[in-house]
Homo-oligomer: A and B are copies of this chain.
Amino acid sequence: MKQSYNQYKQGSRRRQHNKQRQPQRSNVSLRIIPLGGQEEVGRNMTVFEYGNDIIILDMGLQFPEEDMPGIDYIIPNTTYLRGKEKRIRAVVFSHGHLDHIGAAPILLQQLGYPLVIGRPLTIALIKNRLEDFSRGAVAQLKSQQIKTLNNSFRFGPFTVRFFQVDHSIMDAVGVIVQTPSGTVIHPGDWTYEKNPIGRKAITYRHLSSLPRPTLLMLESLGAIAPHARTPERTMYQNLENLIRQARGRVIIGTFSSQLERIRQIIEYAQRIDKKVALDGYSMRMNVEVAKQLGYIKAGKKTLIPINQIHNFPDRRIVVLCTGAQGEGNAVLSRIVSGDHRFVKIKRDDTIVFSSSVIPGNERTVQRLKDNLYRLCDNVIHTDIMEVHSGGHSNAEDIVELLRQIQPTYFLPVYANHYMLKEAGKLAVRHGFNQKNIAILDNGSVLELRNREMKVLPKKVPTDHVFVDGLGVGDVSNVVLRDRQLLAKDGIFIVIVTIEGRTGRLVGDPDITTHGFIQPRENQELIENVRRKVKKILRDGNPRTGADEPYIKNQIRDKIGQYLFTKTERRPMVLPVVIEV
């Protein structure tokens, strides 16, 4: 970081002067719309529009936050694309992680199955996901493979090209979208290995000579990660030492998305003649796909089914499984709780968490570790050894990419707004011009016309589209608010049967409650409520007969108030009035 960004820039101006084809003045503009990713702007989906033509980058999903109980996942809102389906020339997928392909089954269907472009593993994983979602859906898919990184595709005014990036899954690509208005450079998810294993370090300098103006859309999570990332070399050395030296079994919990790491572990185990058993649906599925493509080279002698681990001595066994986040039903949790059919923890097993903790999972992971430490003497995790290396960049890497690529415009993306702002500040501190930086939100429309970049005043819709079970978008905010309310203090149901003609109560009010108190231990409270309900019905205006809405309101208000006074809780009070 010694040479300043400005020095680089000067060099670049000269190069620009030589190579640059000046775009023609035009009334057509390039529009860039980050369309999905909740707080992480654009991570799940980005739309590029030029005149009448549209290209989409990725169709990913987001996992729900804690205040979204019951929701399976969230997908990008495609309201903006409704009626424009025919204009979609292609959907380009950068890599096979769920936050980039997970919404494909639903969105491809919604948009009438436009052409899909991706590297072989990415396409294979999309196909798998389509089939998982709905048997036979893959027959609808129109796809074209990016066979080599030199392939380029023309879609009307768009030329799409690719470049190599480092990420934690094979076949991750950076994407170049060239238009008459300018060139977008988008590394997608990326990290920067300065000293990689078995290949040359990637450089991005060649991207500085693309036709100008260039816009660099750069994942900027790293803007607030000043600490050095664990280099893959360190991580693999640690993992290999652990696997080699273990006297018992080695059980490694990791993300099934870390397919590159999974490959390295399997191939290392094969080299030192250990057996690898995979467990966890996504883990087995991902490895199967990668094997079919020849991306993971492991024979039947190395990869054994989990139910055969007992046929070999413990010191020859490596188990690779999911569940390092402490998810209740995942493999590692089942192993620890003793519910796994084939694996019970032994004291001299070595258990490795080759994973980070996803924010929100800290407590569950801590509990999982507590339980593991009770059973086993060798539990290894990132707090005590570098056995995980993140798939994303840090601040220094961002500066380095800006230096190498020297874009005309800088659009930090794929992170929270505040991180994007910090990425912008980082760029400015290293000599980038503030006015050539744009911070977008999901739904923002950035327009590039005649080298002028501007963010349009109106955003396109990006309200959450929740997927819950088979329902897509049918869980509204009302439903969600009810769930939150029910979670907090439960429900209190008051059922009264009345004579329709007179409004007079028939029998005693029935009371049922869940998640509020134990009725059996609070009989006095329940009795008092019954008495109050009777009074409400007596005091109701008997001349007008049964006034159901009035009775319901009275019960809701008065009983709610009474319960709060007695308990300081606010269960949802639900009056049910039966007229006979």
Cα–Cα distance between A487 and B421 once the two chains are bound (Å) = 35
Distance (whole angstroms) from the CB of A420 to the closest CB of chain B: 9
Contact digits for A476-487, partner B, Cβ 8 Å, 1 yes 0 no: 101110111111
Q: Is A226 an interface residue (CB 8 A)?
A: yes
A112 and B360 CA atoms in complex are apart in Å by 40
Measured in the bound complex, the distance between the Cα atoms of B474 and A521 in whole Å is 8
Residues in B neighbouring A517, C-beta threshold 8 A: 471, 474-475, 479
Whether A512 sits at the interface, judged by CB under 8 Å, is: yes
Contacts A39-B367, A486-B514 given; indicate if A495 touches B576 (C-beta within 8 A).
Answer: yes
Contact with B along A198-242 (1 / 0, CB 8 A): 000000000000000000000000001110000000000000000
Contact call B373/A363, Cβ cutoff below 8 A: no
The one of B226, B366, B489, B493 in contact with A39, judged by C-beta atoms closer than 8 angstroms, is: B366
A417 cross-chain contacts in B, Cβ below 8 A: 370, 373-374
User: In whole angstroms, how far apart are the Cα atoms of A512 and B577 in the complex?
Assistant: 12
Please tell me if the beta carbons of A479 and B518 are within 8 angstroms of each other in the complex: yes
Among A5-13, A62-70, A165-173, the stretch in contact with B: A62-70
- Closest Cβ–Cβ distance, residue A566 to chain B (whole Å): 7
A359: which B residues are within 8 A, CB to CB? 362-363
CB distance from A472 to the nearest CB of B (A): 11
Given A416-B370, A518-B476, does the pair A470, B224 have CB atoms closer than 8 Å?
no
Given known contacts A39-B370, A483-B488, A518-B476, A576 and B493 CB-to-CB distance under 8 angstroms? yes
Q: For the complex, give the distance between the alpha carbons of A490 and B510 in Å.
A: 21
Q: Which residues of chain A (342-391) have a CB below 8 Å from chain B? A: 359-360, 362-363, 366-367, 369-370, 372-374, 379, 383-384
Asked if B493 and A493 make an inter-chain contact with CB atoms under 8 angstroms apart, the answer reads: yes
Say yes or no: is A418 at the interface (Cβ < 8 Å to chain B): yes
Q: With the chains together, A305 CA to B474 CA distance in Å? A: 48
Task: Tell whether A516 is near chain B: CB-to-CB under 8 Å.
Answer: yes
Q: Is A272 on the interface with B (CB-CB < 8 A)?
A: no
Residues B483 and A479 in contact, CB atoms below 8 Å apart: no
Q: Is A578 an interface residue (CB 8 A)?
A: yes
CB distance from A466 to the nearest CB of B (A): 12
Task: Say yes or no for A53: interface residue by CB 8 A criterion.
Answer: no
Write out the residue numbers on chain B whose beta carbons fall within 8 Å of the beta carbon of A379: 418
- The residues of B that contact A489 with a CB separation of less than 8 Å are 70, 468, 483
Chain B residues with CB under 8 Å of A486's CB are 483, 486-487, 490-491, 514-515
